Every structure is written in structure tokens, then in C-alpha cells.
Structure 1
Amino acid sequence: MEEFKMESEHKLTLELVKELWAKTYNTDGKPDWSHILPYYDDNIYFRDTIQEIRGIVEFKEMTDRLTERSKDLNMKLVKAVQQGNDIFFEWEMTISYKKYPSSILYGLSRLTINEHGKIIEQRDYYDLWGDIFDNIPSFGKKYRKFMKKKFG
């Protein structure tokens, strides 16, 4: 897929990741991955709490679904560090679906950069249901109480 090739052979760095992610989620509330997709390897492996995706075509389809589903989506990078070929960043994502109020999801992403400077693996960690339920009056407290009682 030629449209996803990098225009230049710059390797992804911590500073570049911060710059790219800041642009990704702040385009009038609608996410736009067009500037960052070239930094993903064609064989990207992505996993989060909901899905497991292999390949740039499936990854782009996932980003398109997220854009279509959300009315508004913004991301704030809280902290970011790099250790070797891994970049970790903590984030707060505010998402508003078409029929529901805004929810803030708190998470962490790990990007693994290959020898060509592209993202070969991305793992996102977050508590999807807990963060969403926290925004529903009275239900969030019941959910947290249940989780503490059953899991700790």
C-alpha cells in the first residue's frame, strides 16, 4: 500500500511521537491519523482491551471506525518515556459518542519501533468499562464497589 509509505526515512523518536499524537486527536474533535499512519510498519501488530489487529490495512480500518463512532475525541499526553526501541506514554482520552455524554479514559500505550524506525507493535492498556461507568451517576460507584469486593 504505497499511500502509507513514509515521505522521508526519519526514525520515530520520543519527541516526534509527542508531536504526532498531539496532532492526531485535536482536529476539530475528530481524530485524524493520516500524518501518523506512514510511521506504522505494514505488518503492525496492535492490541488493546477490545481487539487484536494485524497489518496496516486492518489498523487503518480500526482508526476509521473510531472516527466514525465518535462525535468528539481528544487526547492529552501526560507522560512519555523511551527505553531502547520502546516508547511508553500515559494518556487521558476524552471521547464523546454520538448518543452518550463524554467519558474520560485513562491509559498507557507501548510502541515498539523496528530497525527501520517504524511502529511494528502497539499495545494500549486501559480500563474501558470502569472509565465509562464512572461517568454514569450512581452506577460508577456500584461498579467500583463490586470490583473491589470481587477482585481486591
Structure 2
Amino acid sequence: MHTQDSRAAVAGITRWFESLTPGNLGQLEAFYTADARFKDPFNDVRGVPAITQIFKHMFVALHEPRFVVTQQIVDGAQAFLVWEFRFRFKRFDTVTEQVIHGGSHLTLTEDGRISEHRDYWDAAEELYEKLPGLGALMRWLKRKANS
């Protein structure tokens, strides 16, 4: 796949990620191959049905989850998206918008769909430290490790 074609595919993928809703999850197969792999700090799954379940769970577990892609790097069939994941907890602090910073490494097929999707983000800093109780423990452990 030529980088120019990849850039167009990644632009479409980015628009879809940024406008993701429970209503357009059915479009997942237009962006992922049938046997695509998705891996993040909590999941390692293969196939459109399993990936769909991860996104469905996101909408059930969180208020107003959304991705904001801030940078894209495309080289041939490889792409890296730098993003912010914005949401509010349904439990704990339900008012404050939370932000997780991360990135996604995507491998594209010749037809511009994702065959491999790996998310990179620090669960300890970006999530655990924001939770009541556990957050205090994580911050204490971080201070002890750095002293």
C-alpha cells in the first residue's frame, strides 16, 4: 500500500474513531479485517465481534466516551495515532471530565482496513491514579519508588 493511499485510509479511520457512537459500531467491519487483532493494557482479542464488544463495553461503563486524535504518522501500511480519550466516570466522580493520553499503532491491509491495532497508554498514571482509594495508593507507591 502506498503511503498516499494509507493517509487517505487513516484519515477515514480517524474520522470514524472521533465520531464513534453505539449507533455506528456496526461499521466496525468497514475499518477492521474479519480476523483483526486488538490489544490494549486490558484486552487482547481477535475478530470483529470481540473488538465490537470492547467498544460496546466502553459505552456501557463510561459517560460520553470519545477519542480526539491529535497527531497522525503514516508510513506505508503502518500508522500511529496520538490521541486523547475523554470521558466521565459513571461511578466515583461523575462530573469531572477525565483524559487519558495514548497512542495506537495500526497495521493496514492493501484495502486500507486495520489488521493489527495496539493501544499504548499508562494504566497506572492515566487511570488508576484517578480512582478513589486506589489512586491514593498508586500515588504513594510512585513517591516511594522515586525516593
- SS of 1:82 mapped into structure 2: strand
Q: Is the 8 A contact 1:89 1:108 kept in 2?
A: yes
Question: If each structure's helix is expressed as a fraction of its own residues, which one has the higher value?
Answer: 2
Which residue does 1:118 correspond to in 2? 113
Q: Distance in 1 between matches of 2:36 and 2:42?
A: 17
Which residue does 1:16 correspond to in 2? 12
Q: Is the 8 A contact 1:20 1:36 kept in 2?
A: no
Structure with the larger RCO, 1 or 2 (CA within 8 Å, 6+ apart): 2
Q: Per-residue CA shift, 1:121-141, capped at 9, x if unaligned?
A: 100001123112443589757
- SS of 1:76 mapped into structure 2: strand
Q: Distance in 2 between matches of 1:145 and 1:127?
A: 17
Q: Distance in 2 between matches of 1:31 and 1:144?
A: 38
TM-score normalized with structure 2 length: 0.77
The sequence identity of aligned pairs, in percent, is: 19
Q: Is the 8 A contact 1:91 1:106 kept in 2?
A: yes
TM-score normalized with structure 1 length: 0.75
Q: Distance in 2 between matches of 1:42 and 1:95?
A: 28
Q: Per-residue CA shift, 1:91-132, capped at 9, x if unaligned?
A: 111122311224211100011101232110100001123112
Q: How many residues align?
A: 139
Q: Distance in 2 between matches of 1:117 and 1:125?
A: 21
Q: Match for 2:56: what amino acid?
A: D
Q: Is the 8 A contact 2:58 2:65 kept in 1?
A: no
Q: Distance in 1 between matches of 2:132 and 2:51?
A: 34
Q: Per-residue CA shift, 1:54-113, capped at 9, x if unaligned?
A: 111111122111111112212211111101101111111112231122421110001110
Per the TM alignment, residue 149 of structure 1 is displaced from its structure 2 partner at its CA by 4.6
Q: Match for 1:100: what amino acid?
A: F
Which residue does 2:79 correspond to in 1? 87
Structure 1 residue ranges without an equivalent (≥5):
1-9
